Structure 1
Amino acid sequence: MYWRRDTRREQLVADIANDLRRYSIDAQHIGHAFAGLHGLNGTDLHALIAVMDAEFAGTPITPGRLGEKLNLSSGSVTALIDRLERAGHVRRDRDTSDRRKVFLRYADRGAALAMEFFRPLGNRTDAAMADFSEDELEVVRRFMTVMVAAMREHRDQIRAARPELPRRPTR
């Protein structure tokens, strides 16, 4: 994108936007490399990230919620989960209080593969942040929080505006 760069602030905004774009592209390349190594596609990778994020938050995700998050039909989610489960990336756990409810969790094998692949990136990330003070990291955290919210808001607006595809008649 092209922004005016007449002031220091405009230059900083443009530089930050360009850095975010480059970061996003590089992150996608890394994610696709992981997916390719393990026979996954882009949707599989997004599903694994959603499962991981939910576990980190302490609120395991259900298949229905995963479908909402990925904008997939229930049939597509079932096929996706079956594929990831067969490959050892996720497992289905029944809720102990309501056996009808299923939670998706990262399987040990899938977690081990991800740790092995992403550990060097984690080390680089830790090293990159090591020279920042806690106050600086607080500012970066606040910035990233609002940027992620803005991106998700835009994504949701695009999804809502997308016309429904015509369904093929069933026989």
Structure 2
Amino acid sequence: MRRNAQADDGEPDPDPSGGTTASHPRMPLVHLLRSVAVDLDLRAAAFAAEQHLHPTDLRALIALLDAERAGESMAPGRLGARLHLNSPTTTAVIDRLEALGFLTRERDPHDRRRVLLVVSREAKILGWDFFGPLITRILAVMDGFEPADLDAYERVLRAIAQSLHAN
């Protein structure tokens, strides 16, 4: 079944929402956001391939780095929940990343029974070597905007991110 494609007669297929979504004046912005997401995903896939990582391994590293930036610790169970993985799959991801030297398992200093996952310095260096130039270019682009514009942009992206998690 084709969706959102051109019919054989050259006419666009109808909008499944009854025409209210496709004609929304902000649809070009939605398409641009999707395009940026696809481009970023392609870069992430290139990094994963270069480092011999499964896409889930890369998502795990990103989740761990995000938690670290937020000042939060990450145990295996929390990582699995974050990525919607079962326990055996989570263990396999952690084992692969540990074997590659991308993370270590450390005892929680507050609860020695608990294991925490920590991204290695080497993994951070590899990530920065690959993504650093892109991040630098993105920051340079942002420097061309007024702080109020960037504040609005941040609010929009946060709201979009929230809507992605609302199911």
> Which of the numbers 59, 81, 84 marks the counterpart of 1:46?
59
Aligned to 1:136: 149
> Which of the numbers 111, 119, 124 marks the counterpart of 1:111?
124
Alpha-carbon shift at residue 15 of structure 1 (Å): 1.3
Instruction: Give the TM-score normalised by structure 2.
Output: 0.85
Where 1:100 maps in the other structure, the secondary structure is: strand
Where 1:101 maps in the other structure, the secondary structure is: strand
Where 1:76 maps in the other structure, the secondary structure is: helix
1:1-171 superposed matches below 5 A: 3-5=21-23, 10-11=24-25, 13-153=26-166, 157=167
Distance 2:28 2:73 in 1: 37
RMSD: 1.3
Structure having the larger proportion of residues in helix: 1
Alpha-carbon shift at residue 72 of structure 1 (Å): 1.1
Aligned to 1:161: none
Matched residues, number: 149
Distance 1:95 1:81 in 2: 17
Alpha-carbon shift at residue 147 of structure 1 (Å): 0.3
State the AA in 2 paired with 1:99.
R
Alpha-carbon shift at residue 76 of structure 1 (Å): 1.2
Gaps of 5+ in 1: 158-171
Distance 2:73 2:130 in 1: 23
Alpha-carbon shift at residue 51 of structure 1 (Å): 0.4
Gaps of 5+ in 2: 5-14, 16-20
Alpha-carbon shift at residue 4 of structure 1 (Å): 4.5
State the AA in 1 paired with 2:109.
T
Instruction: Give the TM-score normalised by structure 1.
Output: 0.83
Alpha-carbon shift at residue 59 of structure 1 (Å): 0.2
Alpha-carbon shift at residue 73 of structure 1 (Å): 1.2
> What is the CA deviation profile of residues 34-75 of structure 1, one whole-angstrom value per residue up to 9, with x for unaligned ones?
000000011101101100000000002110001111111111
> What is the CA deviation profile of residues 9-29 of structure 1, one whole-angstrom value per residue up to 9, with x for unaligned ones?
x33x11110011101111110
Where 1:60 maps in the other structure, the secondary structure is: coil
Distance 2:113 2:102 in 1: 22
